[in-house]
Chain A
Amino acid sequence: MTIQEIENQIISEFANFDDWMDKYNYLIDLGKSIPLIDQKNKINNNLISGCQSKVWLRAEYNDGKIIFTADSDAVITKGIANLLIRVLSNHTPDEIINADFKFIDIIGLNEHLSPTRSNGLISMIKQMKLYALAFKTKMEAN
């Protein structure tokens, strides 16, 4: 699936929720569902700064595609990380660099984009795009 197709899928899932409580219950479920990152990769080097909660993000390059894994000590942040990974992971650096994340606004999580939230959504997106750029540069140099 393309990034756009996954985003559309998430948008239709969120359309089923009646209110904020349903939406957050879903994010909490996403945050609790699976360990997103290997325990051994929860190291300071993978920590993203600028968040109220701790967020670890790791990127691996495999056969032209980037695989992201992440974790957070806050459940809602982890749920949001889960969504971002679902959208971006297993795509090429170019696809990730060009992603516009319009779905965040459409599913009503834009309040988490406000800098005062410092919940890591902005930092996560920025870090994911930086990884994509770094892998792209490395790939082109080789």
Chain B
Amino acid sequence: MIFDINKIKQDFPILQQNIYGKPLAYFDNAATAQKPKVVIDTVSKYYSEENANIHRGAHYLSNKATESFENARKNIQQYINAENSHEIIFTKGTTDSINLVASSFGRKFISKDDEIIISVMEHHSNIVPWQILCEEKKAKLNVIPINEKGEIIFDTFEELLNEKTKLVAITHVSNALGTINPVKEIISKAHEKNIPVLIDGAQSIPHLKVDVKKLDCDFYCFSGHKVYAPMGVGILYGKEKFLEEMPPYQSGGEMIKNVTFKKTVFNELPFKFEAGTPNVGGVLGLSAAFDYLNKIGRENIEVYENELLNYASEELQKINGLRFIGTAKHKTSLISFLIGDIHPYDAGIIIDKMGVAIRTGHHCAQPVMDWFKIPGTIRASFAFYNTKDENGRLTEAILQVKKMFG
């Protein structure tokens, strides 16, 4: 299929509107991506024609919904190339996935004086769960530093690995800087010492072809809503050997095999970790989003987004007084910057009024903002439905900000 940007943009109903009388230029994709019509239709069709509780009733609709749900699991397994479909756990999102591992893996494998490694550029959701776990277990949280470009310092990471290290939890792509971390190298280094690695994939799954078998990561977490699927659904991929040994996270219906007041026997994988009625509509939407991305071609998406990143970077570099935060060699299509001394919040208000949706602030990554000694940034994050013309609108908005605050 030839990558036709005009045709692709038509697939997204929300992008067809005007805001403040101007066509919407949506550059807040790292916060949440828009949904193609096929995803919206899938969710709508599920509630119009198939809705029933799954894995329970012996009636027609329940069987049909269960089949669709389990087919979606297989589809997602294939998309990230996991070995088994029972290694795909449905969660509410990345945050939920990481909390599941922190709670269950933590309970089983972390004890006093153990160490967990994260990096400076983590999103709060890959910091706070480990902080809480370390406090509870009296374990230690070690942090990999970064250089001025926003790349992790690999030598220090290697030095931090020792016999007390029980887990490395690191983001694949930084949500604030766009840096693509060398996760394959990180994983192989950690595995040399038999240390498992969790990858926060929230910002990588929308942009990169992710193969969990090739990466050999032990856990990989992501959210549906950042990859063109509905909100409220996410994935925890975990290697069977860990998932089998980990105790359940939440408890209730679905995750049990047999309950008496004396003893409960837990269900097998993946149901052991899926207590309660899942977000079936969301899961089907996620599966449909992956079908859609496959149809466009994941290589095509990567090539186009790279082209857009290079174009936007060059255009923005022409504007005087812009300071770029995060200039790593390997980046996804995300640009974080400041306009002179103008507070990102001030800039954000004006850029919004120009019909351009960006995000300002610390992007739930305060430690990395502190590292750069800034209150926050203006972040434009691109998706494959964005265009060079739209980037021109961003340039125009930045010039307007400079005019008003200069």
Q: How far is the CA of A77 from the CA of B361 in the complex (A)?
A: 14
User: Is A25 a contact of B375 with CB atoms below 8 Å?
Assistant: no
Closest Cβ neighbor of B20 among chain A residues: A20
Is A101 an interface position by the 8 A CB rule?
A: no
Q: Does A17 sit within 8 A of B, measured CB to CB?
A: no
What CA separation (Å) do A109 and B343 show in the bound complex? Answer: 19
On whether the beta carbons of B360 and A52 are closer than 8 Å, the reply is: yes
Q: Please encode chain A, from 4 to 45, with 1 for each CB lying within 8 Å of some chain B CB and 0 for all others.
A: 000000000000000011001100100000000000000000
Q: Does B213 contact A (CB under 8 A)?
A: no
The answer to whether B353 and A24 touch across the interface, beta carbons within 8 angstroms, is yes
Residue of B nearest to A120 (CB): B345
Contacting pair B375 A28 (CB below 8 A)? no
**Closest-CB distance, A33 to chain B (whole angstroms):** 14
In the bound complex, what is the Cα–Cα distance between A119 and B376 (angstroms)?
Answer: 14
A75 CA / B405 CA spacing, docked (Å): 8
A76–B52 Cα gap in the complex (Å)? 51
| Chain A interface residue bracket vs B | 10 to 19
Q: Which residues of A contact B361 (CB under 8 A)?
A: 52
Q: Are A53 and B375 in touch, CB under 8 angstroms?
A: yes
- Chain B residues lying within 8 Å of A20, measured Cβ to Cβ, are 20, 353
| CB proximity to B under 8 Å, residues A76-91 | 76-77
Q: How large is the interface on B (under 10, 10 to 19, 20 to 34, 35 or more residues)?
A: 10 to 19
CB pair A73–B343 under 8 Å, yes or no, is yes
Which one of B20, B342, B345, B404 contacts A77 once the chains associate, using CB atoms below 8 Å?
B345
Q: How far is the CB of B129 from chain A (nearest CB, A)?
A: 23
With a cutoff of 8 Å between Cβ atoms, the chain B residues found around residue A119 in the complex are 345, 349
Contact string, B129-165, partner A, CB cutoff 8 A, digits 1/0?
0000000000000000000000000000000000000
CB of B346 within 8 A of chain A?
A: yes
CB of B293 within 8 Å of the partner chain: no
Among A20, A24, A54, A76, find the residue whose CB has the most chain B CB atoms closer than 10 A.
Answer: A76
**Within the complex, what minimum Cβ distance (angstroms) separates B235 from chain A?**
27
- Further pairs besides A75-B343, A75-B346: 19, Cβ < 8 Å: A20-B20, A21-B404, A24-B349, A24-B353, A24-B404, A25-B404, A52-B344, A52-B345, A52-B360, A52-B376, A53-B343, A53-B345, A53-B375, A73-B343, A74-B343, A74-B345, A75-B405, A76-B349, A119-B345
A-B contact pairs, 13 of them (CB 8 A): A20-B20, A20-B353, A21-B353, A21-B404, A24-B350, A52-B344, A52-B361, A53-B343, A53-B346, A54-B375, A75-B343, A76-B346, A119-B349
